[in-house]
Amino acid sequence: MVVDDHPMWRDAVERDLVGAGFEVVATAATGGEAVTRFKAARPQLVVLDLQIPEPDGVAVTREVLAHDPSARVLVLSASGEQTDVLEAVKAGATGYLVKSASRAELLDAVRRVARGDTVFTPGLAGLVLGEFRRLADPATTDPSRPELTERETEVLRMVAKGLSYKQIAERLVLSHRTVQNHVQNTLRKLQMHNRVELTRWAIEQGLDD
């Protein structure tokens, strides 16, 4: 689903996605339309502008993910401001691109977010990771924190940075399946259910250093 209150931009994004083989099941111009049409169309991924008539993109992100936690949200915004980026990520967005991104960058981001990766316009990932490090209190240790193997920790750091399974496999000279297994083992240890939660946990624990 594509959500943007500018018709020309909304139509262009929809056209690019359809041209690349994606099925666009709905479009919306306002936050209210987005939430209503999301519930009716049940898209797997939402490409969403933040600056839309109320409720805004952050609120829409929070609401659609509460309705369907398996959905993915990729923010496509004119704003690269720290506050906007962080609010979107905290609401559950798994990707954030500024509108200066190229068509190829948009399509690549959609594919990666659909797979569960975290994707950011270059420069924004460091901003997000740095902010979560700042918010985490290093003096506080969690006695319930599960023990991970060195390899699981290494893979987790790369997940926190938004690398795909394929990229992690290439860097560590492992098979794609082995990387998946490491992530799944970590998920079981943390009693979590998806890579979004895994990434948030890793960032909060400072594993993105």
What is the pLDDT at residue 38?
A: 96
Residue 171 scores a pLDDT above 50 = yes
Give the pLDDT mean for 156-162. 73
What digits encode the pLDDT tens for the residues 93-148? 888 888 888 899 899 999 988 887 777 776 665 565 555 445 444 444 455 555 66
CA–CA separation, 31 and 131 (whole Å): 27
CA–CA distance, 20 with 132 (Å, rounded to integer): 34
Residues 6+ apart with CB under 8 A from 26: 1, 2, 37, 38, 40, 41, 43
pTM summary value:
0.67
- Dihedrals φ, ψ of 193, to 5°? -120, -10
Q: Which CATH class is domain 140-204?
A: mainly alpha
For the chain, the domains span: 2-132, 140-204
Residue 192 has pLDDT above 60, yes or no: no
- When computed from its CA atoms, the radius of gyration of the chain, rounded to whole angstroms, is 17
- Yes or no: say if 152 and 163 are a contact pair by the CB < 8 Å rule: no
Instruction: Supply φ then ψ for residue 74, to 5 degrees.
Output: -110, 115
- A 10 A CB-CB count for 193 gives 11
pLDDT value at residue 135: 47
CATH 3.40.50.2300 correct for 2-132: yes
Q: What percent of the chain stands above pLDDT 90?
A: 38
Average pLDDT over the chain reads: 80
pLDDT at 155: 80
Helix axes 124-135, 195-204, angle to 10 degrees: 60
Q: Which of 35-44, 64-73, 128-137 has the lowest mean pLDDT?
A: 128-137
pLDDT at 128: 54
